[in-house]
Structure 1
């Protein structure tokens, strides 16, 4: 039984460009990994490249050493989460390649070669869903067309919105389920129909798991729209309230439709600049606050699952290759006979898992 799921084997017989096109068509984030420097003996060449998905699938070629693939896969996933490109160096002695702008890691396999790999995150184009054909909605669609976003205009009559050519797509339906199906997962939604069908736009955003649902409405109408959206989406009203931002837009004392649209666009830009790691940090902060609140309740003396400190040592010796494994919290591990063993790479972990007895030797203590 492993303490960490090993990465899927590199798929070397693929057209990397085709994989990228498929991921882009499905709006899936990924990272490009390109070998930019090598020192033999390594099996990769400068220019070799691969694609790493957010699930840890590696398609392509960055060298055959399992430890190099593990490091590239792990760091590529971190690149996807942070949204920032990185240069990674892998060498027997990381200090020999360490420099400003490069993250160096030890080559823990038997190879003495060196690899430097550039990791570039690729995020799907943001889909901004503008609900309504009001002057505010039309202005927002026009302004947003200047950004790297796909603008979907949702109206009850598609013919009435033909004067907004900046929209990437126009949906002539305001049914929440149909809209959610059409726009895909996690769009940004702004409901600005001026009361015509804002509730249905909010419900569509909730059903599509939108990270941002902005509503242009008075407090009184927003409360009514939230209640109605809860019924339409079949979601608890408190969950809908938590998902909705009202009044939407940054506070710039906007009154004219174009000014309101500009304030909405500023808020959209702020939301799109947040990386997955920012969101995770915010969620972690919320969970920490909830844990602290729970600790002050009647059950504060009870033990809680998942709060026990880890028993992983700071370092360990790989029983397969004999190398010292630093930072065992991230290292591959295998449970055997009630004991946890840590490895420099998944290749060593796989070898141990297959034949553990061949690497452990005899127990020196023998009962009399």
Structure 2
């Protein structure tokens, strides 16, 4: 990868911007792309880098859009004619406007880890940072309950133990955060959420019932519940997919 493209990819990761990294892994001449050529494809269809001419680039762009939805990665073969099955995990696209060669590319979906925002600075909040990170989440401690709820959070957990719990819960519900949890007993949780609109969406006591007692165990139960409730995209069909490109080159 060129230095400029590598810097751009790292910036996208830092900014939590999803993209697909396309790498040419094999070519059959004649092709304008060479093995090792790479490009980044963003969610708006922008392609940065080089993986072939207009015909190849448009096919890569179309397949990348699908991968950004599924979160999967795949091997893509672009050929001007029909292709025999080559194995599981291969997507074959027939693009008759190619110059006559065949391209094999690895398309890697690079998605930001789901974000968990934790309000509070006690033992449970601290344990959530460690357990969540170990499970692959991006855990952001909010600390102050007056801090704004992050709009792209997958989960908001309030673990302030009785201090200013309503504001972050209300803000998370209004923002449509998929998982909103409150660390509290069942009785206290019901009392805290009684006057909050949409209180039925608040998970309290937060976490799966695993008999948790210590702060790390409670954190584990909460992360397990977040995992159990996360949306799961429909995977692509197993095996080889044969498709015909619907675009044409001018």
Aligned with residue 127 of structure 1, among 102, 115, 122: 115
2:81 aligned partner: 93
Aligned with residue 14 of structure 2, among 11, 25, 30: 25
1:210 matched to 2:177: yes
1:267 aligned partner: 225
In terms of fraction of residues, the more helix-rich structure is 1
2:209 aligned partner: 251
Show the 5 A alignment for 1:61-80. 61-66=50-55, 68-80=56-68
Q: Measure how far apart 1:208 and its partner are.
A: 5.1
Separation (CA, whole Å) in 2 of partners of 1:99 and 1:200: 53
Structure number with larger C-alpha Rg: 1
The alpha-carbon distance between structure 1 residues 94 and 209, as it changes in their structure 2 partners (threshold 3 A), is farther
2:90 aligned partner: 102
1:174 aligned partner: 145
2:132 aligned partner: 144
Aligned with residue 39 of structure 1, among 28, 39, 44: 28
1:163 aligned partner: none
Separation (CA, whole Å) in 2 of partners of 1:16 and 1:193: 43
> Across the two proteins, how many residue pairs are aligned to each other?
241
1:345 aligned partner: 247
Separation (CA, whole Å) in 2 of partners of 1:346 and 1:206: 46
2:200 aligned partner: 241
The answer to which structure, 1 or 2, has the higher relative contact order (CA under 8 A, 6+ apart) is 2
Q: Measure how far apart 1:58 and its partner are.
A: 1.2
| Contact 2:115 2:152 (C-alpha < 8 Å) held by counterparts | no
Separation (CA, whole Å) in 2 of partners of 1:98 and 1:84: 19
The alpha-carbon distance between structure 1 residues 72 and 14, as it changes in their structure 2 partners (threshold 3 A), is farther
TM-score after normalising by structure 2: 0.82
CA RMSD of aligned residues (A): 2.8
SS at match of 1:56: coil
| Contact 1:185 1:209 (C-alpha < 8 Å) held by counterparts | no
Q: Deviations over 1:73-102 (max 9, x none)?
A: 121121122122100111123424633321
Structure 1 unaligned blocks of 5 or more: 1-12, 156-172, 231-236, 279-325, 332-343, 352-368
2:238 aligned partner: none
Structure 2 unaligned blocks of 5 or more: 235-242
Q: Deviations over 1:181-230 (max 9, x none)?
A: xx4522422112222122223234335543322222344443444455x5
